[in-house]
Amino acid sequence: MNNLVTYARDGGIAVITIDNPPVNALGHATRLGICEALEQFAADHDAQAAVLICAGRTFCAGADISEFNAPPEDPWLPAVVQKIEDAPKRVVAAIHGTVLGGGLELALGCHFRCAVASAKFGFPEITLGLLPGASGTQRLPRLAGIEKALDLMISGKPMDAAQARQIHIIDEIVEGDLRRGAIGYASRIVAERAPVRRISKMSVDRTAVPPDFFDRYRERIARQSRNQIAQEQIVRCVEAAVQLPYRQALKLEGRLFEKCKKSVQSRALRHLFFAEREAGKVPDLGREVATREIRKVAVIGAGTMGSGIAMCFLNAGWPVVLVESDRVGLDRGVAAIRKNFETAVQKGRMSRDEHESCMNRLIGSLDYADIGDADLVVEAVFEDMKVKKQVFAKLDALCRPGAILATNTSTLDVDEIAAVTSRPRDVIGLHFFAPANVMPLIEIVRGGKTATDVIATALALARRLRKIGTLVRVCFGFVANRMFIPYIREAQLMILEGAAPERIDQAMVEWGMAMGPNAVLDLSGLDVFHRFLGAWKDRPHDPSFCRMLTVLCERGRLGQKTGAGFYNYDGRNAVPDPEVAAVAAREAAALGIRPRRITDREIVRRLTVSLALEGARVLDEGIALRSGDIDVIFANGFGFPRYRGGPMFYAGSVGLARIEAAAARYRKRYGDRYWTPPESLARHTLRPLTKS
């Protein structure tokens, strides 16, 4: 037996302990150790039952995902689960922490299950484009029923121990010490001569659902599962649990699991899984770099972004001083924070006590002097270089030595901002995405003189805020907005060529984007992007460049906030407006642009290729560290479909030849300005981040 799994006995109860930190992942060595321990248990005549328990902070939190890129090594997890169930004597799973995916399947192989009240249970495989592939799709419906089993696997959301007991996933909730309680539970089972319960021998209750249940269930999840394959495979597996003998259905589960695992969608989702964990690793930032202590935070600006940023820090437990220049703006910002917290309470996302605690940590102020003792100051004022320089000059004069001065700019030169201070080493960009209290991403912008401990602190802050921090360097727009420029450039040119805004948006939404490019501009405000592009010193001398954006702004059509932009708005409902098409036709004629037929395929290919080409340039210039970082930014900041992996992974999955062929077509039509691929494109798109 290896050192990851140990066997001991407590009286007549064997204790099999898995100790594979940090999360007791079910890698090959762990699986091998479990099998060897089961054999020792079977041969131990003095052991009347066994408790399967895990050391550390959690029961097995799942399979070792890194093994999915390699051929399976025996014993594979389904065989281990079956070996547990086939044990001639009773096996009890003792559960704490998070029992997820393969870990839950391991527990379902046991004959009985007990858990502490704080344990969480779930099948998150769907988030990786997979299905539970170690008999989970067959065992769960036999315990929880057809509909509850499907809901748990399709949603991927965890449940608590009380809910798990209600649907028979566990049999007992243990008070106090888990090991002692589980041994006591096992001893009681032995004393009561409770028969060994093998889930595979149970039948699925078909009478609990109507005959057309599966058809109706597919209709119910159609929007959620658009373009994705794993949801349908899970439904097929549960159908098989109802219609086929267990062994036949189990074989189908295995085949469909392999189909999912080999799919581009699952590879894309696993790529993002690892890329998000890799994002916080910086080559020149060793473990010896200490972080600065942050005890108090100040936010300058109580507008939408400032109040949202303040909420992030309040939620994470920091006291926050929110500074605004006038009473009306400050009161509006504080009221917005209070309203958001009230909504969270009403929706059950926050307790009343947590709400009051957050509000008690918030201080609204009209006086910069109140931030003198802050350890971190985040500036979130108007996106104007002159205004930001004025703010940072004040911060430099008032803030204590060693305080971190951060700007929330989404486009402007962090080094130019830092230059107005006497402490550029303390200046960094923290670009929160709107709405800041909801979006999971922060672009951490490293200035030319930013100290390494400031960078380390920013990355640690992102983790404590439960956000993904991606480190980027300074250029106009950094990574996110710089790459978004060619995306909206091409969308707007296609409008001039005769493609309706709603058709462009619909093509991208059907492909998987959360919103189309024109709807995004309307939501954010056309004037915001117009100012943003106006500040771009290297803007191309191209009269057609984002021409529609300029014309609509001149007409006062600024998007949702004015009731008209690329669309007219009935509340938040977008309504196509023929006037936009008429304006586009007039502008196109003035620019000499002829209308042409544009297919949905061209819309998708043109927009995604424009992203990939700009992404390669960003990587060449060292603005982003890795192609995976770009994918993380677009998946978490722009609603790029996760199952397509991000713009760089997607380009790699399409294939270099197709990307280059598309770029060549557009270069022939539009010239060299935008469509010449960098020579490095192959290197940046064909090596998506995976573990092997």
> How far is residue 612's CA from residue 26's CA, in Å, rounded to a whole number?
36
Give yes or no for a contact between 639 and 515, defined as CB atoms under 8 angstroms apart: yes
Q: Which residues contact 249 (CB under 8 A, 6 or more apart)?
A: 138, 237, 240, 241, 243
Amino acid at 115: A
- Choice among 67, 85, 125, 614 that is catalytic: 125
> How far is residue 477's CA from residue 483's CA, in Å, rounded to a whole number?
8
> How far is residue 68's CA from residue 262's CA, in Å, rounded to a whole number?
9
What does the block give as tokens for 275?
Answer: 């890329």
Cis peptide before 132 (omega within 30 of 0): no
Active-site residue flag, 105: yes
Rg, Å, the chain Cα set: 28
Comparing C-alpha atoms, which of 29, 30, 171, 152 is closest to residue 101?
Answer: 152
C-alpha neighbours within 13 Å on the C-beta side of residue 381: 19
Torsion, Cα of 291, 297, 302, 304 (10° steps): 40
> Where do runs of H (alpha helix) occur along 86-212?
102-109, 136-144, 146-155, 161-166, 178-191
What does residue 46 show for φ and ψ, rounded to 5 degrees? -85, -10
> How far is residue 62's CA from residue 60's CA, in Å, rounded to a whole number?
6
Active-site residue flag, 36: no
Give yes or no for a contact between 672 and 608, defined as CB atoms under 8 angstroms apart: no
Torsion, Cα of 532, 533, 539, 544 (10° steps): 170
Q: Which residues contact 53 (CB under 8 A, 6 or more apart)?
A: 15, 16, 17, 18, 59, 93, 94, 178, 179, 182
Residue with tokens 């150790």: 33
Residue 579's SS3 state is helix
- Choice among 85, 105, 239, 502 that is catalytic: 105
Residue with tokens 């200490």: 290
> How far is residue 425's CA from residue 428's CA, in Å, rounded to a whole number?
8
Burial of 13 (0-12, 13-18, 19+ CB in 10 A): buried
Type and span of the H or E element at 663: helix 656-670
> How far is residue 161's CA from residue 171's CA, in Å, rounded to a whole number?
10
Provide the annotated active-site residues: 105, 125
